[in-house]
Structure 1
Amino acid sequence: MIFVLKLNNKKFKLLNYYVNFFTNLSPTNNFIIMLLTNNNNQYKLLIVMFCFITCCTKSILYSQILPQEKIKYKTISQIPTISNYNRIICDSNSFGFYLRNLELKISNNIVYLYNNTPKYNQNAQYAIIKIDVGNKDLQQCADAVMRLKGEYLFSLKKFKDIHFCFLSDGKPRYYTDYCNGNFSYNKFKDYMNYIFSFANTASLKKELKHINNVEDIEIGDVFIQTGNPYGHAIIIVDVAINKNKEKIFMLAQSYMPAQEIHILKNPNNNNLSPWYSADFEEILETPEWTFTKNDLYRFP
C-alpha cells in the first residue's frame, strides 16, 4: 500500500502521529510513506520511509525498544522533585491531590495499546499510570484528560458534576441522565466510552478556560491544541515551586492509537525529567507533540 501525504508546514507536527499509526498496524502490511511539504508553492520531498513489518521483524523491533527497568515509585507523589523545589500544597479533596496520588504501574514500564500490543514508541514514557485503557480505540489524548476528570468526580460521588460536551452540537451529556440510577463503576466506564465516541480535543477545548500566564500553572491544567484532522491534549499531574516562585510541572498523556496513560519524559533536559520548567520560552516540546504558551487551559 502506498500513502502520499501532503503536509504543509503547520501540519508537519502530525509526523509523529502518522509514524505511530502506521507502525502499530498489522505486521503483515507493507507501507511506503511519502511526506511532502509545501514551500513557496513547490512541493519538496522530505522523507521517504519504507516500513516492511512482519511478525518476526516486529518482534525484533519491540525487543530492542522495550524498556527493561521497572519503575520503583508506586504513586506520582513518590517521584522526587529536583533540588530546592517543593510540591505545592493541595486540598485533600481537590483534583490536584487526586492526580498527584494516582497509582503507577510497577509490574513493567511498557505502554500497551487498547489491543494489548506494545506501542511502537517506548521512549516517551517515564512511568505509566495504573488505569485501564479499555479494549477499543477510544481513550486517546483528550479522552484520557476527560477520563481522569471523570474518575476524580466519581471517586467523590459528585455524579451530577460529571458531564462532557459532544462535538456535534456542543451540548453536555450528563452521567446522571445516562446511568438512569445505576451508579456502578461499570456503568461509569460505559458512559466514558460513550463520551469518547462523540467528543475530542475541539469539544473539550471549548469547555475549558484559557490561562494567560504559564506561571499560574496548576495541577489539572491542560495543554491543548485542536487541528485538522488531529489535535492533542496533555494534562499537568503535579507542580512544584521554589523560594523564588519558579515552578516545575509534570505531564501525562494518552495518544493515538488509544494507549495507557503515561507520565512523559522531558526530551530536552534529562536532569530535570520527568519535570518541565514553567519558564520555557514560547515552545513546549514534549516527546510526541509541540505546544506553545498560548495552549494552556483549565477546567472551570
Structure 2
Amino acid sequence: MMRLGLLFIALTLSGTAYARAPYGWLPSQALPAPSLAERIAPPPGFERIAAPEGSFAAWLRGLPMRPEGAKVMTYTGAPKWRQDVHVAVVNIDIGKRDLQQCADAIMRLRAEWLYSQNRDKEIAFNDTDGKRRRFSSSRSSDHAGFRKYMDLVFAYAGTYSLERELKPVKPEQMAIGDVFIKGGFPGHAVLVADMVENRATGEKRFLLLQSYMPAQDIHVLKNPKSADGTPWYSTEIGDQLVTPEWVFLRSGLRRWP
C-alpha cells in the first residue's frame, strides 16, 4: 500500500497523473480525424514552415477536421446562411449559446492549447472593462470547468478587449498564431493557422481560421482574391487584407504577448 502511495506521488510530481489530451473537447472514444495539415496541402512549390513540437503552431496544424464538404453550422443547429466562404471546418464544439463568435473562437483555441499543456496559470484574458479573468481562479480544473470559464470569457470579452491585449507586428514578420483584428462593436478577428514558404522565391503564404456572428463552427477561410481557388493568402498583402466577410488593415496584425 505504501509503495502504491509513493508511486502516485511520483507520477503526480512528474505530471503523468494529470496528462491531458491535446484536443480535450473530443470524446475519448472519438475516431481519428484528418488534421488541418492533412486536409489542406501546401500550394505547388511551397512547403510548411518548421514548427517546434508542442508549440501553438504545431497544435493548430493538428486540429481535427470535420468530414470533407461539411457545412458551417451555427449554435442553433442551423446552417450558416453563407456556405461559400470556407474550405474546411474544424471539429470543435460551438456551445449552445450565441457566445463563441470571432475573437471568442481565437481565445478558445489559444486557451485549449495552454490547457492541453497544463499551463493553467497562463490562461487569462481581459474583459471589456479591463478586468483580468483567470482560469486558475475557477472552482474546477477539469475540461467541463474549463468550458464554463471560457463561456464567461466569451460573455465579457471580445474584439475590443483582445485587440488591446495583443501586440502589433508587421506582416513581413508574421508567424503562425498571429491574429488580424479590428476591435469594435462590432469588430472582427481571424487567426493565422498555418504558413508555408517557397524556398526558391522566398514567398510566404498563410491560412486563416474564423468564427463569426452568430456563433458558428470555426472554419478555414477561402481566399477571395485567389485565381486558382487556393485558400492560401500571400504575406504580401499591401495596405489591406481582404477576406470573404471582412477587410482588415495591414496594421491590424497582432501577436500574443
Q: TM > 0.5 between the two?
A: yes
- 2:161 corresponds in structure 1 to 203
Deviation readout 1:20-73 (Å, 9 max, x if unpaired): xxxxxxxxxxxxxxxxxxxxxxxxxxxxxxxxxxxxxxxxxxxxxxxxxxxxx8
SS at 1:235 equivalent: strand
- Measured after TM superposition, the shift of residue 245 of structure 1 is 2.4
Distance (Å, rounded) in 2 between the aligned partners of 1:108 and 1:220: 25
Moved more, 150-159 or 271-280: 271-280
Q: Is the 8 A contact 1:128 1:261 kept in 2?
A: yes
> Which has more radius of gyration?
1
Distance 1:272 1:242, change over 3 A: farther
Q: Does 1:225 align with 2:182?
A: yes
Highest RCO, 1 vs 2 (Cα 8 Å, sep ≥ 6) = 2
Report if the CA contact (8 A) 2:43-2:230 is conserved.
no
Question: Which residue matches 1:276?
Answer: 233
Distance 1:135 1:270, change over 3 A: farther
TM-score (norm 1): 0.72
Aligned to 1:87: 48
Letter in 2 for 1:115: T
1:237 maps to which residue? 193
8 Å Cα contact 1:164-1:173 kept in structure 2: yes
Aligned-partner residue type, residue 76 of structure 1: L
Q: Is 2:137 the partner of 1:177? A: yes
1:126 matched to 2:87: yes
* C-alpha RMSD of the superposition: 1.2
Contact kept, 8 Å, 2:222 with 2:229, in 1: the verdict is: no
1:97 aligns with: 58
1:163 aligns with 2:119: no
| Equivalent runs, 1:132-143 vs 2, <5 Å | 132-143=93-104
Count of matched residue positions in the alignment of Structure 1 and Structure 2: 223
**Aligned-partner residue type, residue 176 of structure 1:** S
Match in the other structure for 1:215:
172
Name the aligned partner's letter for residue 256 of structure 2. F
For 1:215, what is the secondary structure of its paired residue?
Answer: helix
Name the counterpart of 1:29: none
The equivalent residue for 1:190 is 148
Give 1:270 shift: 4.1
Pairs within 5 Å for 1:254-269: 254-269=211-226
CA distance in 2, matches of 1:176, 1:265: 37
Task: State how far apart, in whole Å, the 1-side matches of 2:168 and 2:256 are.
Answer: 9
Structure 1 residue ranges without an equivalent (≥5): 1-72
The residue that corresponds to 1:56 in the other structure is none
Within 5 Å, give how 1:21-40 maps onto structure 2: none
* 1:214-270 per-position Cα deviation (integer Å, ceiling 9, x unaligned): 11111100000023x300000000001112322100000000000000000011114
Aligned equivalents of 2:71, 2:240: Cα separation in 1:
28
Structure 2 unmatched runs, 5+: 1-32
Give percent identity, aligned residues only: 41
Q: Distance in 2 between matches of 1:270 and 1:148?
A: 30
Counterpart-to-counterpart distance in 2, 1:74 and 1:164: 30
1:258 maps to a residue whose letter is A
- After the TM superposition, list the runs of 4 or more consecutive aligned residues in structure 1 that deviate by more than 3 angstroms: none
Deviations 1:140-182 (A, max 9, x none): 00000000001000111111110011112x131110102x3x2
